Amino acid sequence: MLPRPTARLAALLVLLVGLAGVGVLPAGADGERPSTGPTREVHAARAALASAQDALAGDGREVTLALRDLALTRSALEGEQREAADRILARPTDGPLDPDGYGLFSDPQRRCTQVCVHWVESGRHAVPSADADADGIPDYVERALKILTQVHRTYVRAGYRAPHGDGTLGGDKRPDVYLADIGSQAIYGYCTSDQQVPSGGPFDVWAYCVLDNDYDPAQFPQNNPLDNLRVTAAHEYFHAVQYAYDAAEDAWLLEATATWAEDELFTDVDDNVQYLAQSPLAQPRVSLDDSGGLQMYGGWIFFRHLTERFPRAKAGLPTFVRDVWRQADGRRGAADRWSVQAVDRVLRKRGTSLRAAFARFAAENRRARTTYDEGRANRYPNAPLADQTVLRAGASTGWGSLRLDHLAAATIRLRPAAGVPRGTRLRLQLDLPATVEGGTAVVTTKPRRGPVATRLVRTGRDGEATVRVPFGSVSWVEVTLANTSSRYRCWQATAFACMGLPLDDRREFRVKATAVR
């Protein structure tokens, strides 16, 4: 049975409290989340308030997530702290509410299609004044509205839910995007919600977004202003779409799929390539669902892998990610699967599983420049080896072992020494964690002529298997060991899926290789 929405919010509260140094509550004996009393909820909301203030001050943390956490917890605040939270979550056009946010809009203007863009023409937040067609609308505003309209239509035509209407806020129920000088705080853009979110959910909420008013190269040296506007609009507006499903979803899924989406819409910008240094390509032994740093952005490559493997599309966008968000839907009465569950469900509908797909992903990351469509052009890093050995005929490595956390992987390479007879085979003995604990392996061989061949190893339930593959006629054999466990004790205020405590971290994987005739 799926946990109650209150359990998920309680875990967020406890996580925020833990980050603030207050501590983490122990789990109840039955695995349900412990009670979080009013004092603990207040401490957590105060931590969220402090985090949001620091994020808006440009301390480098993720603004959208910081404001998301504040929106979900502010009902626990009272007095001056509640007023401060309300000011932070207020829109630039909300006048006296906003002075502690990022400044007031003076005489705001508005122009709409399916999306409304708000701007000012004087003061700190003024957009560039250029107006080539002399129609009274600054060129930057017209460009931003055109891009946002394209983004909105693409997502909706691809079958995503449109962002929820917000009544008359911003003028009418259409989604609102504000252009403001947030580059001075080193912020590209963000989306948040000023909806009053009930403490027990549901967590599908409306959103509004803020983008920079000019993407001045002095503030944003990476990419040109137009490209920064394009990818930020696609990324942040996807958060507004996500919020129409579940604003309280796991952070790694929020950021990995938003980063994936920006590249799907504007494939020529490739801003997301910068995150590959913190991705499963460069760091295969870091858990895929780790939301504790930039890894959650680097996780976009997992969804690129899956959408290249399952390319069925609608309106130009692969349907795989859309289907994941449908499974994660947090509306009242919806399935509301948390991130890893939702991905596994969609994979099973496509005839595979998270276990098999993640192991294949890990193995193919060893050759990222050839296995991904843009791998060579964008110089994707190949996942590093954990170890490699040269074997003579008749020789054995003996038993070697390593430990892996959940949704992480490592690869070892075995190469034949000079003079190994052509008919020699490699006997691989595997002693992995039990299947239920995530023990999975993929064997890849590279013939001296011809393409690589990859296969998922069939193990017994106890994780043991023996595999024989050609060795004398190959350039190398690689064994990718993958901890594919997706078992958690949920709502324990961690940075992983379902804020859960992984049950199968640090599992031992043992391998022995022997060159035999």
On the question of pLDDT at 280 being above 70, the answer is yes
- Fill in the DSSP letter of residue 35: P
**What was the pLDDT predicted at 165?**
96
**Measured between alpha carbons, how far is 249 from 258 in angstroms, rounded to an integer?**
13
Amino acid at 367: R
Q: Could you tell me where the beta strands, DSSP code E, fall in 151-289?
A: 176-180, 189-192, 208-212
**Measured between alpha carbons, how far is 345 from 251 in angstroms, rounded to an integer?**
19
How many CB atoms neighbour CB 510 within 10 A? 16
**Measured between alpha carbons, how far is 369 from 152 in angstroms, rounded to an integer?**
32
Instruction: Report the mean per-residue pLDDT for the chain.
Output: 90
- 3-state SS track over 339-356: HHHHHHHHHHHCCCCHHH
**Domain 387-516 indexed as CATH 2.60.120.380:** yes
Per the model's pLDDT, the better-predicted residue between 446 and 102 turns out to be: 446
Reported as a pLDDT band with limits 50, 70 and 90, residue 194 is: very high
SS3 state at 140: helix
Across the strands, what pairs with 314? 317
DSSP string, 154-165: HHHHTTPPPPPP
Reported as a pLDDT band with limits 50, 70 and 90, residue 133 is: very high
Q: Please tell me the least confidently modeled range out of 57-71, 152-166, 279-293.
A: 57-71
Reported as a pLDDT band with limits 50, 70 and 90, residue 105 is: confident
Do 55 and 61 meet the contact criterion of CB atoms below 8 Å apart?
A: yes
Q: Dig out the tokens for 371 from the structure.
A: 């296995």
Do 302 and 275 meet the contact criterion of CB atoms below 8 Å apart?
A: no
103-248: what CATH class? alpha beta
**Measured between alpha carbons, how far is 12 from 14 in angstroms, rounded to an integer?**
5
**Measured between alpha carbons, how far is 295 from 270 in angstroms, rounded to an integer?**
17
**What was the pLDDT predicted at 43?**
85
DSSP string, 54-83: HHHTT-SS-HHHHHHHHHHHGGG--HHHHH
Domain definitions of the chain by residue range: 1-89, 103-248, 251-384, 387-516
**What was the pLDDT predicted at 32?**
40
**What's the alpha-carbon Rg for the chain, to the nearest Å?**
25
Model confidence pLDDT, tens digit, residues 404-453 = 999 999 999 999 999 999 999 999 999 999 999 999 999 999 999 899 99
